Amino acid sequence: MKCPHCGYSDSKVLDSRDTADGIRRRRQCLNCTQRFTTHEKVQRTTLFVIKKDRRREPFQKDKVLNGIRKACEKRPISGHDIEKLADEIESELVAGGRAEVYSSAIGDMVMAGLKTLDHIAYIRFASIYRDFADITRLKQEVDSLAEAGAPASASAEAVPSKQLPLLPGADNGAVKMGWRRR
């Protein structure tokens, strides 16, 4: 289990707790000393993900986690919140007892979660994940979020006054006009 903060592969267990479906462990990274939680559970059935190209592959929480992390890069979102979102998505999928799930459904769950955490991370994920038909639609999405105001989560209070650019190389606060289309 790698540290969600620095990627170091060794941690010590501070606390273990039995939960309904496994064990929750509070860990501390031996490198950066940040704390994080892991949840070990018994794998019941293999959930398969149906991808856009119709190929199927076993569900891997790490893939969800990596997608969320990428969207949250340099944003004021704790590793704990990122892990929690991935855990919640996994739990929801497992609890559903399904054998298969479309990758688009997982993407929608990530988007719904990010929308409550951080609007920039949400837009980043959406721009990678969803094919915005054109720049106008993306701008509408950004505008609707701006009107809705900042999310009322605790992490949002830590947003620095000098916002980081939406994308690397983009000007502060501006949607990069040379938006890359896939």
Sign of dihedral through CA atoms 7, 86, 83, 139?
Answer: positive
The C-alpha atoms of residue 28 and residue 146 are separated, in whole angstroms, by 37
6 near Zn ion, judged by CB under 5 A: yes
Taking CB under 5 A as the criterion, which residues in 110-169 touch Zn ion? none
82 near Zn ion, judged by CB under 5 A: no
The C-alpha atoms of residue 180 and residue 160 are separated, in whole angstroms, by 27
| From 5-13, 38-46, 117-125, 154-162, span contacting Zn ion (CB under 5 A) | 5-13
Q: Which lies closer to Zn ion via its Cβ, residue 79 or residue 113?
A: 79
174 near Zn ion, judged by CB under 5 A: no
32 near Zn ion, judged by CB under 5 A: yes
Q: Which lies closer to Zn ion via its Cβ, residue 8 or residue 102?
A: 8
> What residue ranges bind Zn ion (CB under 5 A)?
3, 5-6, 8, 29, 31-32
